[in-house]
Amino acid sequence: MTDTMIVADNLSKVYEGGDTRQVAALRDLSLTIERGEFVAIVGPSGSGKSTLLNLIGAIDQPSAGSLVVDGAELAKIRGDALADFRRKTIGLVFQLFNLVPVLSAVENVKLPLIPYPPKGFNLDKRAKELLTQVGLAGRFNHLPSQLSGGEQQRVAIARALINRPDLILADEPTGNLDSKAGGELMALFEELHREQGVTIVMVTHDPNIAAHAGRVIELRDGRLAD
Ligand SMILES: Nc1ncnc2c1ncn2[C@@H]1O[C@H](COP(=O)(O)OP(=O)(O)OP(=O)(O)O)[C@@H](O)[C@H]1O
Ligand SMILES: [Mg+2]
């Protein structure tokens, strides 16, 4: 295990959009994030924040440059192995919570591992423990529509944690929350970071939210702002 969680080396991403012009979303971006860091990525709309997060999460591939995450060079991992890597290492949290509306809170949390029943622990028990940890002990069987926005986001966090990820990638996780619910989510992130050593990379527009991170990285036009 290395001390470094993410090494991006001259990363570029060009989107080729049908008959529209090419868009250079990231330009020769290099950065290093250590294991156990809590980093906020900020910058204007369109500066490449989500693009960078999607590349780190192996949801999309760079046009040029290399990316090493948790010791693995992403370009060298293919197909099923990539899905395995994502499932073992990464927990993803989005602005829109992406919960399945017809499933209860506990079923939503279990969902990522349903196709891969874990051997080392009881999935149902772990899902309930996680919901309890995020303050939803009384909400196991509620549907997303029966939960507040902040509660739904906490279900999404519990779901992101079901695989015990070493790395949490969160894109505007407080974007749909009021300041109280946003503050509670940050308290939860700080606890995960401090007590479990989870590395957190969080995109946010909000300086008050970014202030919870140990380091703030600013993007501008697909590059690090100086
Ligand atoms: N799938 C895509 N196809 C073409 N262009 C894209 C695609 N996704 C993003 N872009 C473009 O790439 C640039 C960076 O987008 P990105 O989503 O990374 O920005 P962002 O910093 O996350 O912005 P926001 O704060 O608005 O979420 C933008 O100019 C955007 O229009
Ligand atoms: Mg974005």
Burial of residue 177 (CB within 10 Å: 0-12, 13-18, 19+) is buried
**DSSP code per residue over the chain:** --SEEEEEEEEEEEE--TTSPPEEEEEEEEEEEETT-EEEEE-STTSSHHHHHHHHTTSS--SEEEEEETTEEGGG--HHHHHHHHHHHEEEE-SS----TTS-HHHHHHGGGTTS--SSS-HHHHHHHHHHHTT-GGGTT--GGGS-HHHHHHHHHHHHHTT--SEEEEESTTTTS-HHHHHHHHHHHHHHHHHH--EEEEE-S-HHHHTTSSEEEEEETTEE--
- C-alpha of residue 110 to centroid of ligand 1, in Å: 31
Q: Which residue puts its alpha carbon closest to atom 19 of ligand 1?
A: 46
Atom nearest to 16 CA in ligand 1: 4
Atom nearest to 54 CA in ligand 1: 18
Could you state, in order of their start, the residue ranges of all structural domains in the chain?
Answer: 4-17+29-224
**Whole-structure pTM value:** 0.92
**Ligand index nearest the alpha carbon of residue 29:** 1
CB neighbours of 151 closer than 8 A, spacing ≥ 6?
136, 139, 142
Residuewise pLDDT in 10s, the chain (226 residues): 678 999 999 999 999 876 677 889 999 999 999 999 999 999 999 999 999 999 999 989 999 999 999 999 999 998 889 888 988 899 999 877 789 999 999 999 999 888 887 788 899 999 999 999 888 999 999 999 999 988 998 999 999 999 889 999 999 988 888 888 888 889 989 999 999 899 999 999 999 999 999 999 999 999 999 7
- C-alpha of residue 25 to centroid of ligand 1, in Å: 6
- C-alpha of residue 67 to centroid of ligand 2, in Å: 20
- C-alpha of residue 48 to centroid of ligand 1, in Å: 6
> What is the reported pLDDT for 116?
83
Contact between 44 and 54 under an 8 Å Cβ cutoff? The reply is: no
For ligand 1, residues with CB inside 6 Å are 15, 17, 23, 25, 43, 45-51
Place of tokens 């909000």: 206
Task: Give dist(CA 128, CA 155) in Å, integer.
Answer: 11
140-149 burial, b if ≥16 CB within 10 A, otherwise e? bebbbeebee
Q: Which residue puts its alpha carbon closest to atom 27 of ligand 1?
A: 45
CATH architecture entry for 4-17+29-224: 3-Layer(aba) Sandwich (3.40)
Atom nearest to 222 CA in ligand 1: 14
Atom nearest to 47 CA in ligand 1: 21
- C-alpha of residue 82 to centroid of ligand 2, in Å: 23
Of 122, 123, 126, 105, nearest to 114 (Cα)?
Answer: 123
72-73, strands of its sheet edge to edge: 23-34, 4-15, 64-69, 72-73
> What is the reported pLDDT for 83?
86
